[in-house]
Amino acid sequence: MADTRFFSREEAQALAERVLRLSSAEDVRVNVQSGVEGNTRFATNQISTAADVSNASVVITSAFGRRVASATTNRFDDESLRRVVQTSEQLARLVPEDPEYLGELATQQYPESRGFFESTAGLSPEARARAVTAIATPSQARGLISTGFLTFQVGSQAVATKRGSFAYSPGTLANLTTTVRTPDGTGSGWAGVGAHDWTQIDPAELAERAIRKAELSRNPKAVEPGKWTVILEPTAVANLVGLMMGSLGARQADEGRSYFARAGGGNRIGEKFLNPRVTIYSDPADQRLYTAPFNGEGLPNRRMLWVEKGVLRNLVYTRFWAQKNNLNPSGFPGGFYMEGGNSSVDQMIASTRRGLLVTRLWYIRPVDPRTILFTGLTRDGTFLIENGRITGAVKNLRWNESPIFMLNNLEMMGPPTRVSPSESGETSSAVIVPALKVRDFTFTSVSDAV
Amino acid sequence: MDRREFLLRSAAVAAGGLAGCMPAVSIPTASASPAPPAEAGTRELVMRALDAARSAGARYADVRVSRNRNQAVSTRERQITGLADNETQGLGVRVLVDGTWGFAASREMTRVETERVAREAVAQARASRVAQRRPVELAPVERYPDAQWTSPIRTDPFSVSVEDKVGLLLAANEAALGIKGARFVNSSMFFLREDKTFASTEGTYTTQTIFRSLPRVTVTAVAPDGSDFQTRISTDVQPMGLGYEHVVNARLVENAPRWAEDAVQKLSAAPVTPGRYDLVLLPSHLWLTIHESIAHPTELDRVLGYEANYAGTSFIYPIEKYLGKFRYGPAFMNIQGERSSPGGLSSVGWDDEGVKPRDYLIVKDGILHDLQTTREQAPLLADWYRQTGQPVRSHGNSYAQSWADVQFQRMPNVNLLPHPERDVPLDELIGGVKNGILIDGEGSFSIDQQRFNAQFGGQVFYEIRNGKRGRMLKDVAYQIRTPEFWNSMDLIGGKSTYFMGGAFNDGKGQPSQSNAVSHGCPPSRHRGVEVINTGRSA
């Protein structure tokens, strides 16, 4: 039976066509989204809130020549649609020309749409409560306090243009994260994971990991800040590598205001800038990434090799910047895959004379865009390694570091694994990265926060 | 960013945005469409939802119907880069069943859907009951059967023509580009109007119209040899809960050359030598330090561990060792929570559970005196309130960013009040520093999950030598431990130096919701703060 909580291809197309028929602009794009987001939060070993939210929206972008504006509504009666079309057209007639507007796209060929799973689409409040119980019950039994967030989305998106393109993709996403703390407030452990397919998430396994870390992290000792060899678990690696992926704009580089700007003009494409073991790509054909088939403009996503063996292969080109440089637009396919190695975290620990094991990072904020330098803190499981084994918990540390420096100081790599990459535990495109052992990671102060 | 655009969202975007790489017209924003929803229709739907929730077994229910409209205009140099209007409208129902919360929401505001949403909220609560250990109890509340409130604006930003807005931004850009060395200018305006109706089974019915406005200019200077680039953001113009008059008063065209000069001057500014310095922090900077190290740790839900999985907990724990005992700072330090200041981003008539907020002191004469509460939380401080002769009532600090989000505890405007005894001028703060740094404007910011260890940058930095402001510095960030930092404060400005800064998008909760909040403060002076140099070579 059709899922009534989001628009089918036919419904999305019918809605887009209603909007297009109301339009008198020269160029028009209609973006349609619909779906349900559900979540269950828990704290102090009990559910604190649970919600299901049903929403949909239409964005209409109207252009007269190069005068362009957009308007959005979530009301789809005739009068509301007429009004939103009129709003976008009135605004478009009033604004100055945008010399960079290239018009909307005509018919495109799209890669296969992946990433819809019934297991996630059918995640009921009762099933969510069971997942929470699988974490809260063992935590309570061990005298610990669990907190966490289970969230999922089911929906579809579509893009249609007056020039005839139509793209449609349904999708699901889920994410489960938990922080388990000791009642005396001296220990805290985190675990989390994201997936398109709910069956890939094992709440009991996450509980076990978070509980183990909470218990191990009691009564941390302070260590001196400075340069440390660190073993970063995959979540922490994603936290940092994502910062570099967010700095890949070609235009900023060409304009001289990015790490990827080349002194004297142009950008660093073709330059080796990372350790030769680093390769990162996005790929709609990759079965593990479930990349959306198109972006918000209706541009098909395609395989993009960002970094190959430490060499910068591509930057993110918008349609305008690509045309100006006589290149194809890159889009930015959701998610990325970073190749890894064969070392397990245990092997990394065994090979380390003195270092730190880091679970995840927190409050990551830019400090200096010239070097993609960010600051933040370790959190929920930071351990001292001495002579090849974990010897205790350490107090969290503030770091000031760049993924560029980190990926040059690489020593060991683990097998890539999907993570929950956002600090807030929201659903996310697939991010698949390895655990890393790196040297000379820069910590600048100690935090008393647990 | 619209969370619902999940299929478009990349990890890079989640990790901080891919500025300039998304189509300019995708800026999430609202429609200049007229008339709010017909009052009679809204009232009927709301009552129907409350009845349906009660019939399905809810002991308590509240309903919010809201329409959020916003508009974003953005430009760079001599061209427009985006113009988008956005509206979102819907209804959210929150219920308590046997002491467990449930919430459901929908954009469809028909009778049938409204009743379905109410029943869905009850079903959510029932499903969640299995894990209950302590039932929710609500503090008593006064009843407001028919109350209205509107932000104190003079000019509705949606009544001003787009041509005027774009024209003003392009004129500001031109003024900035007139400064030699200023190579790029991005400027924008963002406006919000929210029409919100709240009703509860306890008999309150409120309608409110809230406005917010933020004009912003960012100038980038690039060194001629490409070796450096520096930006200056117009942080002396802060977001406010005001109308278009706030944009006009910001005098963007007149101020743009100064912001451009700052960006250019930063290229040749002296890198700071790391060490301990006395700091003089202007209100355009200090508001964010207050936000992070005072306003967040005094949220009671954080203190109780409810936000441990994301926003974090608080160093204020256990409560009984802190309330009435913890010295946050010197005796002249008073921290106020309020939702009443004209233009404050958090200012409202009633909060999102129908409570009329009152002004209160979080820190009184330097000592921690109170915490931020909702109806669910106030009873948890009952012992403290009884000891101090205060009623057990919510401070009215409940908020949800839209109809689609469940309300929870969010900070009010949290202010550092001016010096209680005299009108201390800024010059007196600077005059008492031998070797220090003056910081203007908020910059980089990061703080740990219990709000101990923080690091702050800024927009522009000046050396202070022997009581005088000197040359410009760059690559400055200071690191603090919250209790020591506030106790190192030895002087603050008086009432004539008071200024309100603010955050448009303060994130908390899961799913993360944005709260808009102001922080008024005078300038402050702190002794012996650790300063690092953030410049590295690639």
| pLDDT reported for residue A129 | 96
- Give residue B181's pLDDT band: very low, low, confident or very high (50, 70, 90): very high
- pLDDT by position in tens, chain A (length 450): 578 899 999 999 999 999 999 999 999 999 999 999 999 999 999 999 999 999 999 999 999 999 999 999 999 999 999 999 999 999 999 999 999 999 999 999 999 888 999 999 999 999 999 999 999 999 999 999 999 999 999 999 999 999 999 999 999 999 999 999 999 999 999 999 999 999 999 999 999 999 999 999 999 999 999 999 999 999 999 999 999 999 999 999 999 999 999 988 999 999 999 999 999 999 988 989 998 899 999 999 999 999 999 999 999 999 999 999 999 999 876 799 999 999 999 999 999 999 999 999 999 999 999 999 999 999 999 999 999 999 999 999 999 999 999 999 999 999 999 999 999 999 999 999 999 999 999 999 999 999
Residue B39: Cβ within 10 Å count:
10
| pLDDT reported for residue B220 | 98
Taking an 8 Å cut-off on Cβ atoms, the answer to whether A51 and B317 are in contact is no
Under DSSP, the state recorded for B318 is S
CA A83 to chain B, closest CA, distance in angstroms equals 7
In this complex, the residue of A45, A292, A424 whose CB is nearest that of residue B8 is A292
Listing DSSP states for B377-415 in one string gives TGGGGHHHHHHTT------S-EE-SSTTS--EE---EEE
In this complex, the residue of A33, A61, A398 whose CB is nearest that of residue B453 is A398
Calpha distance B407→A97 (Å, rounded): 41
Which site among B1, B3, B6 would you substitute to test the A interface, given the most A Cβ atoms closer than 10 Å to its Cβ?
A: B6
Radius of gyration of chain A, Cα coordinates, nearest whole angstrom: 24
User: Does A271 contact chain B (CB < 8 Å)?
Assistant: no
CA A421 to chain B, closest CA, distance in angstroms equals 7
User: Does B112 contact chain A (CB < 8 Å)?
Assistant: no
Calpha distance B108→B461 (Å, rounded): 51
End-to-end CA distance of chain B: 31
Nearest CA in chain A to B114: A54
pLDDT of residue B21 exceeding 90: no
% pLDDT > 70, chain A: 100
CA B419 to chain A, closest CA, distance in angstroms equals 31
Calpha distance B226→B212 (Å, rounded): 38
CA A350 to chain B, closest CA, distance in angstroms equals 30
Taking an 8 Å cut-off on Cβ atoms, the answer to whether A72 and B28 are in contact is yes
Taking an 8 Å cut-off on Cβ atoms, the answer to whether B127 and A50 are in contact is yes
The residue whose two tokens read 């697939």 is A430
Per DSSP, the three-state class of B427 is helix
Q: Mean pLDDT across the stretch B340-368?
A: 98
Listing DSSP states for A308-339 in one string gives ETTEE---B--HHHHHHTT-------S-EEE-
In this complex, the residue of A147, A368, A445 whose CB is nearest that of residue B536 is A368
Taking an 8 Å cut-off on Cβ atoms, the answer to whether A46 and B134 are in contact is yes
Taking an 8 Å cut-off on Cβ atoms, the answer to whether A405 and B536 are in contact is yes
Nearest CA in chain A to B92: A53
Which site among A5, A72, A273 would you substitute to test the B interface, given the most B Cβ atoms closer than 10 Å to its Cβ?
A: A72
Residue type, A48: S
Q: Mean pLDDT across the stretch B197-206?
A: 98
pLDDT of residue B330 exceeding 80: yes
Which residues, numbered 198 to 237 in chain A, qualify as contacts with chain B under a Cβ-Cβ cut-off of 8 Å?
none
Residue type, A133: T
- A216 close to A187: Cβ distance less than 8 angstroms: yes
Chain A residues within an 8 Å CB radius of B514: none
In the predicted model, what is the mean pLDDT of chain B? 92
Taking an 8 Å cut-off on Cβ atoms, the answer to whether A70 and B84 are in contact is yes
What domains sit in chain B, N to C, each tagged with a CATH number?
11-267 (3.30.2290.10), 275-533 (no CATH)
Chain A residues within an 8 Å CB radius of B13: 246, 332
Taking an 8 Å cut-off on Cβ atoms, the answer to whether B305 and A147 are in contact is yes
User: Does A377 contact chain B (CB < 8 Å)?
Assistant: yes
Calpha distance B300→A367 (Å, rounded): 30
Among A60, A7, A75, A71, which residue's Cα sits nearest to residue B89? A75
Calpha distance A428→A292 (Å, rounded): 12
- Give residue B31's pLDDT band: very low, low, confident or very high (50, 70, 90): very low
- What architecture (CATH level 2) is domain A9-213? 2-Layer Sandwich (3.30)
Nearest CA in chain A to B165: A95
Per DSSP, the three-state class of A358 is strand
| pLDDT reported for residue B32 | 33
User: Does A327 contact chain B (CB < 8 Å)?
Assistant: no
Q: So where are chain A's domains?
A: 9-213, 220-248+270-314+332-450
Calpha distance B13→B332 (Å, rounded): 43
Q: What angle in degrees, to the nearest 10, is found between the helix axes of B39-55 and B111-128?
A: 40
User: Does B452 contact chain A (CB < 8 Å)?
Assistant: yes
Chain A residues within an 8 Å CB radius of B272: none
User: Does A128 contact chain B (CB < 8 Å)?
Assistant: yes
In this complex, the residue of B107, B123, B317 whose CB is nearest that of residue A125 is B123
Which site among A31, A33, A44, A75 would you substitute to test the B interface, given the most B Cβ atoms closer than 10 Å to its Cβ?
A: A75
CA B68 to chain A, closest CA, distance in angstroms equals 10
Chain B residues within an 8 Å CB radius of A148: 309
The alpha helices in A27-124, defined as continuous H runs, are 78-94, 118-121
User: Does B17 contact chain A (CB < 8 Å)?
Assistant: yes
Q: Mean pLDDT across the stretch B335-345?
A: 98
Cβ pairs A/B, distance under 8 A: 413
Chain A residues within an 8 Å CB radius of B302: none
Among A249, A261, A266, A248, which residue's Cα sits nearest to residue A307? A248
Q: Mean pLDDT across the stretch B9-38?
A: 31
CA B174 to chain A, closest CA, distance in angstroms equals 15
- A191 close to A206: Cβ distance less than 8 angstroms: yes
CA B437 to chain A, closest CA, distance in angstroms equals 18
Calpha distance B414→B340 (Å, rounded): 11
Nearest CA in chain A to B11: A335
A200 CB burial (10 A radius; 0-12, 13-18, 19+): middle
CA B421 to chain A, closest CA, distance in angstroms equals 35
Q: For A132-176, how does the pLDDT look when each residue is reduced to its tens digit (9 = 90+)?
A: 999 999 999 999 999 999 999 999 999 999 999 999 999 999 999
